[in-house]
Amino acid sequence: MHVHTEASNGPASDMDVLISGAIHSILGPDTQVSWRECFTTVSRLVELLDDPSGDPPVGLLATTDHVTAAHHRLSDDALRAAARDPRLAVCAEVWCEEQDLDGVYRKAPEVLVYGGPELVDGPYGPHFGLSQELLDELFETCGAPGHPNAQTSRVLRFCAERGLACALAHPFDGHALSLEATFDVISRAKFVETVNGGFPAASTRVLEDLIAFQNRIVEGGHLGAVEALRYPAARRFVDRIVSEGRALLHPWGGSDAHSHAFARVTVRFLADRPSPTMGDLFRAMLERSVGSLLLDGTFRLCGRPGSAWSVTDDIVRIVLRNIWWIGKKFGGPLAFARVVRRTRVVVADELARRAKRQAELNRDVERDFDFGRLLPAMRPMVASVSRRDRRRRILPLAGVE
């Protein structure tokens, strides 16, 4: 439910500006060499659907290439393949901004916009997922005020109004919002990607606990007087959930694969017929309540979040493929060596920046939302998804296998 193809390259990639800028500073602004985030072809992903021996086997697949306001053309290869096979849907990971507590708009959690239960028209025939017209409409109507890119809360509202299944993508990683604003955005979704094959287990734990926290409040739980005084941010969060009538949250997952291990995180779908289509899956996401989905285990996450080793492996593979690909375009070893050194510095600096940012968020969670203290002090609810409360749960956990 979250995998990338070559269509995620170029302007749609976060890293494109950073690394292509470094390359151009060495080779000149007119060079045609650019960074490639993904080398996966659509045909390679289609092979997964035709391989019953896969581990695990893949029966349905959604391509979720990066899109921004400046670059949101759906892939012709994906549209062509989806028109031939109803097990494949053409979807998108929408780059978003959101207004922070200080009024400033910052990079925010992205939205995996999937599509509706019915086929949509496309240039190669009807297919499941998004049409180019729908995606164009999204960017025309969901822009953050005064900013070119979409706003997370507006995209979620657009999907609800248009009957499009969607989920927040790795919402605790890869953005610049404050913790309280981040939790507020997550609280507005229906499906939240708690397990992402490209991000660490620490984020999964925070997101699972946050879902458990909100779901308990929705089911009538409350903070004790001591906890309400000690954790004012948590108290404000509870007030928003109650006053705005926010709903139960459902955990979600995706491999977020760019080069390999495409099925490292999957969503097992308990369908009501032997050969479901992507439309059947989207219908279940849209028409079923979170409580009923959790009750019968319609969706269950299979796989594990990324580890320090797997995340590093992902990055190294992408960098090495880029070095190999770019190296073919150089006239001599000197320029090639300079680009390699510069690229390594840029990647290392960006990873260090992200790691620092993530450490700050984790510290803020411990200070403002100490779930280890808050969750046990709350009245247990029926649809809990917390690791800490599994022995007391009544409903089966839609979590990780």
Least confident among 232-246, 280-294, 381-395: 381-395
The CA distance from 302 to 61, in Å, is: 14
Burial (CB count within 10 angstroms: exposed 0-12, middle 13-18, buried 19+), residue 330: middle
Q: pLDDT confidence of 335, banded at 50, 70, 90? A: low
pLDDT of residue 389: 39
Between the alpha carbon of residue 327 and those of residues 294, 312, 321, 346, the distances in Å are: 50, 22, 10, 17
Q: What is the pLDDT of residues 163-177, one digit of tens each?
A: 999 999 999 988 899
Q: pLDDT confidence of 92, banded at 50, 70, 90? A: very high
Of residues 74 and 391, which shows the higher confidence score? 74
Question: What is the pLDDT averaged over residues 35-41?
Answer: 80
Q: How many residues are listed for the chain in this entry?
A: 401
Q: pLDDT confidence of 108, banded at 50, 70, 90? A: very high
State yes or no: pLDDT of 199 exceeds 90.
Answer: no
> Which of the given ranges, 12-16, 328-332, 387-391, has the highest pLDDT on average?
12-16
pLDDT of residue 59: 93
Question: What is the pLDDT averaged over residues 384-396?
Answer: 38
pLDDT of residue 70: 87
* Beta carbons of 263 and 195 less than 8 angstroms apart: no
pTM above 0.75, yes or no: yes
Under DSSP, the state recorded for 123 is B
The CA distance from 156 to 141, in Å, is: 12
pLDDT of residue 325: 66
What phi-psi label fits residue 260: left (phi over 0), alpha (psi between -120 and 50 degrees) or beta?
beta
Q: pLDDT confidence of 383, banded at 50, 70, 90? A: very low
With a CB cutoff of 8 Å and minimum separation 6, the contacts of 335 are 26, 27
Tokens read off for 355: 């790691």
State yes or no: pLDDT of 317 exceeds 90.
Answer: no
Q: pLDDT confidence of 342, banded at 50, 70, 90? A: confident
Mean pLDDT of the chain: 86
Picking from 16, 114, 43, the residue whose alpha carbon sits closest to that of residue 262 is: 43
Question: What is the pLDDT averaged over residues 237-245?
Answer: 96
Q: What is the pLDDT of residues 67-80, one digit of tens each?
A: 999 889 999 999 99
pLDDT of residue 377: 85
Q: pLDDT confidence of 133, banded at 50, 70, 90? A: very high
Least confident among 45-54, 119-128, 253-262, 337-346: 337-346
Question: What is the pLDDT averaged over residues 133-157?
Answer: 94
pLDDT of residue 355: 80
* Beta carbons of 347 and 19 less than 8 angstroms apart: yes
191: which strand partners?
250
301: which strand partners?
267, 400
State yes or no: pLDDT of 388 exceeds 90.
Answer: no
State yes or no: pLDDT of 94 exceeds 90.
Answer: yes
Q: What is the pLDDT of residues 253-292, one digit of tens each?
A: 999 888 788 889 999 999 999 999 999 999 999 999 999 9
If you write DSSP's letter for every residue of 187-207 in order, what string do you get?
HT-SEEEEEETTSBHHHHHHH
Amino acid at 369: F
pLDDT of residue 33: 63
Q: pLDDT confidence of 358, banded at 50, 70, 90? A: confident
pLDDT of residue 395: 35
